[in-house]
Structure 1
Amino acid sequence: MKLFGDIYRGRKVLLTGHTGFKGSWLVAWLTQLGAEVTGFALVPSTSPAHWSLIDTSATDITGDIRDAQLVQDVIDRVQPDIVFHLAAQALVRRSYREPLDSWSTNVMGTANILEACRATASVRAVVVITTDKVYENNEWPWGYREVDRLGGHDPYSASKAASELVVDSYRKSFWSRDDAPLLASARAGNVIGGGDWSEDRLVPDLVRAVAAGVSLEIRSPQSTRPWQHVLDCLSGYLLLGQRLLSGDRAAAVAWNFGPAPDDNRTVAEVLKDLQTHWEQLKWHSANVVQPHEANLLYLDCSKAHAQLSWRPVWTITKSLAMTAQWYKYHHSTGTVITDQQLQHYFEAARDAGCVWVEA
């Protein structure tokens, strides 16, 4: 199969946040696409870590995106064609405990990346990854569109909304010429899949509870989220990168990459579905007051559907099955099936007629 028009083959790609959950899956995918990948991130914050378990030819550079000079040195060294910026402080509850880390990483870290790209002639495209939580959440029963107002209650959400303003400012202030690099941002929902061991996330917390033989305390069982498999949102990022590298200036805007509307589920529904694949999963509801988190959140992905011809491949049911399969395999063997699941996803995308797959 030929993926994304083979545009990444031989390309120099800089990926920030490659040691994280999404970043490590994106490294695995880009490597299979034939890209020359360099990752720039902090050391993995969890043990185990997906990045440490996958077999990849990517170059690994350790560093903090808040260090402007180091960021510039790395980009000078790599001379990338495209940058995928995923590095972030990405946890809501941690942002309440350490708000300055969220603001400095998500806002100034993003500015450092863009400023270094501005000074580097090789860079032709930049994709900045934010979140569905950049929208001012009114608990609407319909999806947020890219033109809706940005906002954020907790420091994580607010700092990510602010990073979107940084992106928009750089696009308008410095990259408005016809020959300028193309800059886009991508907003995805609650991403699941094997290899996530972050704190205060539903699936990793469940996996740890199973390993410890205990029942997991659930904070908000009736909260609704746009759950999606990590490969579905990554296909959107890569498709967007393809369009930017091809010189499509209309793609240099903000995009939502979320699940089908029917795949929004409550936490309780996700838990029940996961248990059908892994009987050892046990949980109970918490009775203590929790920091504020959104109860209802949807994404409207009509623009990505209409203008990029992007569609999610796996339903929530399939995504949960593949997630459980990944963790069960790792739990029993200590090894991973990341590459096998990538191939399974490619075949499903081909069968679904996805625009980025050529048989």
Structure 2
Amino acid sequence: MANDSSLAGVVVNLFSGSYLNRRVLLTGHTGFKGSWLALWLSRLGAHVTGASLAPATTPNHWDLLGLGAVDHRIDIRDPDAVARVVAEAQPEIVFHLAAQPLVRRSYAAPIETWATNVMGTCHVLEACRATSTVKAIVAVTTDKCYQNNEWVWGYRETDRLGGHDPYSASKAATELAVASYRASLMSRPGAPLVATARAGNVIGGGDWSEDRLIPDLVRATGNGTSLEIRSPHATRPWQHVLESLSGYLLLGERLLTGQNAFAEAWNFGPDSHGNRSVSDVLGRIAESWPEIRWHMTTQSHPHEARLLSLDSTKAHTLLGWQPVWGIDDALRHTSEWYRTWLASGEIVSSRQLDQYIEDAAVVGTSWCQA
């Protein structure tokens, strides 16, 4: 697959062919979300350069994929290393995903979290300012960048930023840093257009991160043990990783065409059916994976928000973005990925990407047109 794809005999055009032969820099490419994005960009015909730390776990999705992208192992807290990679890659668009992404880790390593998420982003933006080829930047933050008031309705892009834990607060600060660069340092004609993207709780095969529900569940199941659950009633906007990535790619397409109106903050969350409690998600997984077991912990843990949801009306209305897989499809494909890998070691990521694109064509998404 490159510019287009043949599905059931019908040729579909993906993202208007915007990524074919494009030079793309992807920070955080060895992570869960980054590795899936690297796979998709490669299939779109982009020339991908990755910049990231080594994968944090063994196994990991990046190594299992075996992609041929240019692979730089750097720490984005090092401004000279970031500048060197950007200057060498001469990218046309940058997807900035590198981060310290874990809430619980941020309590143990707050300085690392702030330095990586805020200053690391500034280092990327500075390097892009100094590189004339860069036309567009999509900086990925999180749904947790909002000041969480435990509202029953979803947060909109205009709602107040904030955060209780170092991770959430650092991502709110990252949003402010990007907005500042956009307004003051990247406002001249010809400067890169920069947008931020805020997604919900992404799930999917190939995630082995610590302190995440499904990776922890997979590890427990593989070991034949019961998973300890901290907050069974906590509600999150669950979505498959490909849903958020389709939003990032669609946003990048708009920026590459020089549409300044899209250089803003964007939510990419599931529909209301995707807002589910941890216990509900586990129950739905168990329907197709009866071997899983879990129990509620009796220990106290650091504070985490109990209720969080996103309002993605802006992306629906102005970008034409829409979810393709609902919560049941997302959980089914995630369970299938891990069950297949545990049984045979087969990696079904490419096959699932094909299925997602085929389903997107049926739905009639704006980025996948016959």
TM bucket (normalised to shorter chain) is over 0.9
| One of 243, 256, 261 as aligned partner of 2:272 | 261
- Deviation at 1:290? 1.2
Residue 31 of structure 1: aligned partner: 42
1:151-185 superposed Cα distances (whole Å, 9 cap, x missing partner): 00000000011010110010011111232210000
Q: Which residue of 1 aligns with 2:95?
A: 84
Q: TM-score, normalised by structure 2?
A: 0.96
2:117 paired residue number: 106
Deviation per CA, 1:103-148, whole angstroms, max 9, x where unpaired? 0000100000000000000000000000000000000000000000
Per the TM alignment, residue 288 of structure 1 is displaced from its structure 2 partner at its CA by: 1.4
Match of 1:232 in 2: 243
Report the equivalent of 2:60.
Answer: 49
Deviations 1:63-90 (A, max 9, x none): 1000000100000000000000000000
* Counterpart residue number, 1:160: 171
Q: How much does 1:335 deviate?
A: 2.5
**Alpha-carbon distance between aligned partners in 2 of 1:16 and 1:313, rounded to the nearest angstrom:** 26
The separation in 1 between residues aligned to 2:55 and 2:300, in whole angstroms, is 31
In structure 1, how many angstroms separate the alpha carbons of the residues matched to 2:71 and 2:141? 22
Runs (5+) with no aligned partner, structure 2: 1-11
Q: Does residue 148 of structure 2 align to residue 137 of structure 1?
A: yes
Written as runs of structure 1 = structure 2, the 5 A alignment for 1:164-183 is 164-183=175-194
Q: 2:300 aligns with which of 283, 289, 300?
A: 289
For 2:344 and 2:30, how far apart are their aligned partners in 1? Answer: 22
CA contact (8 A) 1:53 1:335 kept: no
* 2:227 counterpart of 1:209: no
Q: Give me the TM-score of the superposition, normalised by structure 1.
A: 0.99
- Distance in 2, matches of 1:170 and 1:54, equals 35
CA displacement 1:37-93 (0-9 Å, x = unmatched)? 000000000010000000322111101000000100000000000000000000000
| AA matched with 1:340 | R
Offset at residue 334 of structure 1 (A): 1.5
Contact 2:199 2:267 in 1 (8 A): yes
**Which consecutive residues of structure 1, in runs of 5 or more, have no partner in the other structure?**
none
For 1:166, give the aligned amino acid: A
Q: 1:215, 1:283 within 8 Å by CA — same for their partners in 2?
A: yes
Q: Work out whether 1:184 is the aligned partner of 2:195.
A: yes
Measure how far apart 1:6 and its partner are.
0.5
Match for residue 242 of structure 1? 253
Question: One-letter code of the match for 1:11?
Answer: R
Code of the residue aligned with 1:56 in structure 2: it is L
2:119 maps to 1:122: no
Answer whether contact 1:126 1:184 (CA < 8 A) is retained: yes
Q: Which residue pairs with 1:19 in the alignment?
A: 30
Secondary structure of 1:15's aligned partner: strand
Question: Considering only aligned residues, what root-mean-square deviation do their CA atoms show, in Å?
Answer: 0.6
Quote the offset at 1:256 in angstroms: 0.2
Secondary structure of the 2:295 match is strand
Which residue of structure 1 lines up, in the alignment, with residue 343 of structure 2? 332
- Identical aligned pairs, as a percentage? 60
- Residue 151 (str. 1) matches residue 162 (str. 2): yes
